[in-house]
Amino acid sequence: MRRIARRPSHRRANGIAVAATVWLAALLLLALAGCAGHDRPDNAAATGVQLSHANYQLIKPGAQGSSSGFRLLEFIPITAPSLADAKSDLYRSIGAADLKGRAVALANLSEDSYTVHFLLFAIPRVRVSADVIEFTDAAAGSSSRLGAVDPNAPVPCRELGDQLVCDPPAR
């Protein structure tokens, strides 16, 4: 009986196929692996305003704005979501042009950031939501207009217990 010798080229072709399969599996695992992080520090500046009195009215509850970005292969950022764009979208959704000259503020402001992961890319998003309120003249019950007030005028403030109370500017 004769033995048929295998050619060395078959062994080399099989070895290349195995190496290619290992590299393909490694790239697939890398594409599927996702990382999430919060790289924005939580900086907050707040003004203390009493909302316990009947000095405001709710204009639009739960107004929302959002911004999204794009990451290639889950870790190469192409565009990033912007908090400023999300707030601009929020103001656009409430019709900010109609509120010009009125004493409005955002109450219960919250920011949510999340990422939707796909096989080869990810879409990070930032969503801002808030209740839009308008301060009213408590005595008259009408909304306060700020058309004649100089926004650069100094506002007299004083401490009352643990709160800072500011007197409204003269009209």
**pLDDT for 60-119, tens place per residue?**
899 999 999 999 998 899 999 999 999 999 999 988 778 888 888 888 999 999 999 999
Question: Residue ranges per domain, the chain?
Answer: 56-146
Q: What does the block give as tokens for 38?
A: 């919060």
Under 8 Å between Cβ of 109 and 46? no
DSSP 85-141: HHHHHHHHHHTGGGGTTB-EEEEEEEEEEEEEE-SSEEEEEEEEEEEEEEEB-TTT-
pTM: 0.53
Query: Can you give the pLDDT at residue 145?
Result: 47
pLDDT in tens, 6-38: 555 555 556 677 778 888 887 766 656 555 555
Element (H, E) at 3: none
Query: Can you give the pLDDT at residue 115?
Result: 94
- Counting Cα atoms < 13 Å in the Cβ hemisphere of 27 gives 7
The whole-angstrom separation of Cα 104 and Cα 135 is: 6
